[in-house]
Chains A and B, each alone.
Chain A
Amino acid sequence: MAEIKTMAKKSWFLPAILGIVAIAFPPFLGGYFQHLLILMMMWITMATAWNLLGGYTGCVSFGHCVFFGLGAYGGGLLYLHWGISPWWGMIAGPLLAIIAGIPIGLVTFRLRGPYFALSMLALGETFRIVFTNWVSVLGGACGIVSSRTFGVEKLPYYYIALVIAALSVYVVYRLMHSKYGYYFVSIREDQDAAEGLGIPTTRYKMYALIPSALFTGLAGAVYMNYMAYIDPEVVFSLAGISIMMILAVMVGGAGTLGGPILGAVIFVLLNEGIRAAVGPISYLIFMVIACLLIMFLPDGIIGDWAKIKRAFRGKKPVYVGGE
């Protein structure tokens, strides 16, 4: 308990430093590093959003690409059909993600554990196939091409992505320090007990899903505006979006606030950052790290921080279980 109190006292320090660095430094960096930072902010948003539903509430979703893709397609479809600026997708995309998320939740929240995960996976694949094949309305496999508002300038995108990432972390932080947060964790720990204590579990899962879909959709909308090109194979990708979100969270630590942030940074650095140096092996390196982490630190870097510290001090790990 004492540890938690001291952490609470120092808790403004690290975010403040990180915030100042994130705001002040990027203008001095080259375009490539700015690109990396934009991707990082996007992945932080996505991993944080996934963590709210998966890490805190315990509904491990293998289909969050649905929300990412719908977020991206919200703006894309407006542009395709009516020529409206894809920036309106920043509103339309998340809205679309929430509208799709509610019925998806109503259906899939009846299932638990791996069955929930698989049904989300099935839904993600279904969306990908429908968006690939329905050419007249959704653009089909060739995707949607728009144009970048700011040309080659990257800074505006970076600051937008930064604001969204910060907002997502803040919202999750506030949620987890409210009644809702405790309800979410209780659902994760023991759904039957939570229900026994009078928590309407399906409704509270929905309360976790809606912000999760919203922020994933926002990340999708940023992606749409930044890349100016979307196609279903990319934005509804199982291996490229859904699974990477989960692995980024797992590497950092599921069910922690800092975990998804750290995981997303590691993911982007390994996947994009060292690609220039080592080529396509970068992806393999991330996978090997993910495997080793799940094997030896199943709660991620932040979640098993105590274990890491012990290991460095040369002490044998003590497994704190049934206190």
Chain B
Amino acid sequence: MALFGQTFVTGILIGGIYAVIAVGMTLIMGVMKIINLAHGALMMVGMYVCLALFKSFGLHPYLGMIPAMIILFGIGWLLQKYSIERVFGVETILPESQVLLTLALGLGITEIIRLIFTSNYQCAYTPFSARCFYLGGMSISQPYLVGFIIAMAFVAALHILLTRTDLGRSVIATAQDRDAATYMGVDAKRITNFTFALGTALAAAGGAMLLPIFYTYPDVWHPYLAKCFIITILGGMGSTVGALSGGLLLGVAETFGATYWSPGYRDVVGLIIFVLVLLFLPGGLKKVIGR
């Protein structure tokens, strides 16, 4: 029973951190209607910003998260404004050219990071990383728990931003109907830039929470990108509640796969869920919750 509980708790904790990364992607996907494959790479940049701050100033990743988010907000805004916006709505042979652009951007960013920081595995090791406490036979790792709490705070803040403020409502309006939002006086272009930047900043926050737990290297983002779009499809586009439930579900499913099947197949569980959801539950959990 302790093993079951342990697996469940770890799954929930890691799922919360996944949710923060994915919530950024689901926002971008909701507003722009494209899959942003640069999301993972931008998360990785966030990790490296935190790492650089940690290495040079000894700033703990949880504090480094704030400058990292600000920097990534700027990078996201610039990328969207000067690159992705250009191919928005352009008629091409393949309608997926925007997706491919984000992909090429992501890989390019990875190479830039590789040139600066080399491919070596690096980690921000603090004494805090290994600390854990025991609760009824289960050991709960502190960095997981703190990461989870911060992640939940971010998701809650984002939810309030989206539902209670003017800016957030403009984002939702743009996601629902771009033209109608424009007629209502929403600057859709600006809102798109803002959404992309906000999503990127959230990815950076997620990266910062992962940094004390895992190590980082320029290609670290591949599995996280996969997790992000699994959660996005699972939760439904543009929904914070969907992304949160999707993230928790994926985290739990993965840890159960790792415990009871094989750690090597951990990521396969998510991918199988992904294909099954696409086939049998298009629209994701959002549809089920909304009903």
> What residues of chain B lie closer than 8 Å to A298, measured between beta carbons?
87, 90, 92-93, 97
> What residues of chain A lie closer than 8 Å to B115, measured between beta carbons?
280-281, 284
CB-based contact B93/A55 at 8 Å: yes
CB-CB contacts of B67-95 with A at 8 A, as 1s and 0s? 00000000000000001001100111111
- The interface size bin for chain A is 35 or more
Residues of B246-287 contacting chain A, CB below 8 A: 262, 264-265, 267-268, 271-272, 274-275, 278-279, 282
Residues of B146-182 contacting chain A, CB below 8 A: none
> What residues of chain A lie closer than 8 Å to B222, measured between beta carbons?
238-239
Q: Which one, A54, A238, A288, A295, contacts B101 given CB within 8 A?
A: A295
Q: Which one, B83, B104, B271, B278, contacts A287 given CB within 8 A?
A: B104
> What residues of chain A lie closer than 8 Å to B96, measured between beta carbons?
60, 113-114, 117
- The interface size bin for chain B is 35 or more
- How far apart are the CA atoms of A118 and B279 in the complex, in Å? 12
Tell me whether A122 is interfacial, beta carbon within 8 Å: yes
> What residues of chain B lie closer than 8 Å to A145, measured between beta carbons?
none
Count contacts between A and B, CB distance < 8 Å: 120
Segment touching B, from A68-76, A163-171, A219-227, A247-255: A247-255
> What residues of chain B lie closer than 8 Å to A239, measured between beta carbons?
107, 219, 222
- How far apart are the CA atoms of A321 and B90 in the complex, in Å? 11
CB-based contact B108/A114 at 8 Å: no
Q: Which one, A107, A117, A280, A288, contacts B275 given CB within 8 A?
A: A107
Residues of A20-61 contacting chain B, CB below 8 A: 54-55, 58, 60
CB-based contact A110/B279 at 8 Å: yes
CB-based contact A129/B94 at 8 Å: no
25 contacts between A and B (CB under 8 A): A55-B93, A107-B279, A111-B278, A114-B34, A114-B96, A117-B99, A119-B274, A125-B267, A129-B268, A188-B93, A250-B94, A284-B108, A287-B104, A287-B105, A287-B111, A290-B104, A291-B101, A291-B108, A294-B97, A294-B104, A298-B87, A298-B90, A298-B92, A299-B92, A303-B93
A residues near B, CB below 8 A? 54-55, 58, 60, 107, 110-111, 113-115, 117-119, 121-123, 125-126, 129-130, 132-133, 188, 238-239, 243, 246-247, 250, 253-255, 280-281, 283-284, 287-288, 290-291, 294-296, 298-299, 303, 321
